Amino acid sequence: MKLDEMYLSLGVSPAVYQYGENVLKALRERFDAVDAVAEYNQAKVLGAMQKNRVSAACFAATTGYGYDDMGRETLEKVYADIFHTEAALVRPQITCGTHALAVALSANLLPGDELLSPVGAPYDTLEEVIGIRPSKCSLKEYGVSYRQVDLLPNGGFDWDGIRAAINDKTKLVTIQRSKGYATRPTFSVRQIGELISFIKSVKPGLNVMVDNCYGEFVDTIEPSDVGADMTVGSLIKNPGGGLAPIGGYIVGTEACVSRCAFRLSAPGLGQEVGANLGILPAFYQGLFLAPTVVAGALKGAIFAANIYEKLGFRVVPNATEPRHDIIQAVELRSPEAMSAFCHGIQAAAPVDSYVLPEPWAMPGYDAEVIMAAGAFVQGSSIELSADGPIREPYAVYFQGGLTWYHAKLGILLSLQKLVEKGLATI
């Protein structure tokens, strides 16, 4: 069977397949650049594992308190070396990215302190963590105030506004690298570095946390290389390589990370407890594979941007811009088009491909959300998925694909569904 016939058997028409092949012809140079970054990061990960003498003994399961867990302690040293930080906290007890961020914030803010976001509103699920939307156990409930400085209309930093917002109460600054459910550009590591330098020039000693979700291994440097005191993320996104079944990480200064460990477990216990329950092999192997998995997801994002921009849809980033995370936003202009797109992504899944995603009231969001995610790990954003809130501008956020070929199929099927509904014309 020829390749186009294989795609036809999976639901991609000859016209859509050929349109995709025509788009791909111009992307070879972009893909080569993605592979070069992946090669560098693969060497970085391998070097950290070799330096810390990862061995088969590191894969042994621990239970109960998890005292003297060599595999856990070694993995955290590996993460610290990859991110060039003093310390790391990498645990299955961290359930998701929002949890990791909540731990980092609550551990390093005390009653009377103020949290500042110099990049506008945070991702939806952090609104309740902070207390922008009321919630039990929010930072606001514990006496931590919040202030934000919106980005300028051109997406740039409001330097004067940021300077004016920093005051005696400001104790922690949070920077969200990726766009979340917004259509602003994702920040490059170098932009984040410029922002951190400016913040610390205004108030030396101020701690800065970067939400690094969706950005790991996209570049050869990370926010921790440009001054972040804490860099935080989820293992069911980039660094888990699609194999980690749960978990999150916090890397940074010893002072910040140790407080996070006490907040995650209990005062006096810190990093000394936390059994691995036998999932460390997936953490290690997923991290080892992460650079190449992220490369596949990046190729998928670039392909999606080029596919949809040429059809007249607004895409963020656009078809030619540099990539700083794995997320591709596509403004589809209607709820019907969002549903069709997500139906195509779901139809490409290895798990639950027969399911039709529908909008629903997901916990932590202020609008109904539609989500296509036929993943091996529930909610794994490094696997092929697409989601978005049912609100203007009706943008869907595509990400992932454990392999480039799977991402390609998902994008073609998303277009196929739009064509079949008369919502796109090729």
Domain end marker among 232, 256, 278: 278
pLDDT at 164 over 90: yes
The answer to whether 291 and 281 are in contact (CB under 8 A) is no
Q: Which amino acid is at 66?
A: G
DSSP code at position 341: H
Q: Kindly state whether residues 195 and 142 are assigned to the same domain.
A: yes
DSSP code at position 313: -
Instruction: Spell out the residues 6+ positions from residue 320 whose beta carbon is closer than 8 angstroms to its own.
Output: none
Is residue 55 assigned to a domain? Answer: no
Q: Kindly state whether residues 73 and 24 are assigned to the same domain.
A: no
The string of pLDDT tens digits covering residues 269-307 is: 999 999 999 999 999 999 999 999 999 999 999 999 999
Is residue 106 assigned to a domain? Answer: yes
What percentage of residues in the chain have a pLDDT greater than 70?
Answer: 100
Q: Which domain holds residue 404?
A: 3-42+288-420
User: Element (H or E) spanning 88, and its range?
Assistant: strand 87-91
pLDDT at 258 over 90: yes
Is residue 218 assigned to a domain? Answer: yes
Strand 248-252 versus strand 207-211 pairing type: unpaired
Domain end marker among 278, 299, 333: 278
Is residue 243 assigned to a domain? Answer: yes
Domain end marker among 278, 302, 334: 278
Instruction: Spell out the residues 6+ positions from residue 167 whose beta carbon is closer than 8 angstroms to its own.
Output: 114
Copy the structure tokens of residue 297. 């997801």
How much is the pLDDT for 101? 98
Q: Kindly state whether residues 37 and 73 are assigned to the same domain.
A: no
Whole-angstrom Cα distance, residue 221 to residue 84?
Answer: 10
Instruction: Spell out the residues 6+ positions from residue 75 whose beta carbon is closer than 8 angstroms to its own.
Output: 58, 90, 280, 283, 284, 287
The string of pLDDT tens digits covering residues 217-252 is: 999 999 999 999 999 999 999 999 999 999 999 999
How much is the pLDDT for 184? 84
Q: How large is the average pLDDT for residues 370-388?
A: 94
How much is the pLDDT for 364? 67
Q: Kindly state whether residues 11 and 138 are assigned to the same domain.
A: no
Q: Kindly state whether residues 213 and 330 are assigned to the same domain.
A: no
Q: Kindly state whether residues 336 and 244 are assigned to the same domain.
A: no
The string of pLDDT tens digits covering residues 126-139 is: 999 999 999 999 99
Q: What are phi and psi of 39, to 5 degrees?
A: -65, -45
Tell me if the bond preceding 393 is cis, omega within 30° of 0.
Answer: yes
Q: How many CB atoms lie within 10 A of CB 164?
A: 11
How much is the pLDDT for 181? 78
The answer to whether 185 and 155 are in contact (CB under 8 A) is yes
Is residue 48 assigned to a domain? Answer: no
Q: Kindly state whether residues 296 and 391 are assigned to the same domain.
A: yes
- Report the CATH number that the domain containing residue 269 is assigned in CATH: 3.40.640.10
Strand 369-372 versus strand 170-176 pairing type: unpaired
Q: What is the mean pLDDT of the chain?
A: 96
- Report the CATH number that the domain containing residue 36 is assigned in CATH: 3.90.1150.60
The string of pLDDT tens digits covering residues 12-46 is: 999 999 999 999 999 999 999 999 999 999 999 99
Q: Kindly state whether residues 110 and 170 are assigned to the same domain.
A: yes
How much is the pLDDT for 183? 73
Copy the structure tokens of residue 405. 């070929």
How much is the pLDDT for 361? 85
Q: Kindly state whether residues 273 and 295 are assigned to the same domain.
A: no
Q: How many CB atoms lie within 10 A of CB 102?
A: 23
Helices 280-309 and 70-82: crossing angle in degrees, nearest 10, is: 40
- When divided into structural domains, the chain yields a total of 2
Predicted structure pTM score:
0.95
Q: Kindly state whether residues 411 and 268 are assigned to the same domain.
A: no
User: Element (H or E) spanning 291, and its range?
Assistant: helix 280-309
The string of pLDDT tens digits covering residues 386-415 is: 999 999 999 999 999 999 999 999 999 999
Is residue 283 assigned to a domain? Answer: no
Is residue 157 assigned to a domain? Answer: yes
What percentage of residues in the chain have a pLDDT greater than 90?
Answer: 95
Is residue 52 assigned to a domain? Answer: no
Q: What confidence category does residue 86 fall into, taking pLDDT thresholds of 50, 70 and 90?
A: very high
The string of pLDDT tens digits covering residues 311-364 is: 999 999 999 999 999 999 999 999 999 999 999 999 999 999 999 999 988 776
Q: Kindly state whether residues 343 and 404 are assigned to the same domain.
A: yes
Q: Kindly state whether residues 249 and 303 are assigned to the same domain.
A: no
The answer to whether 379 and 96 are in contact (CB under 8 A) is yes
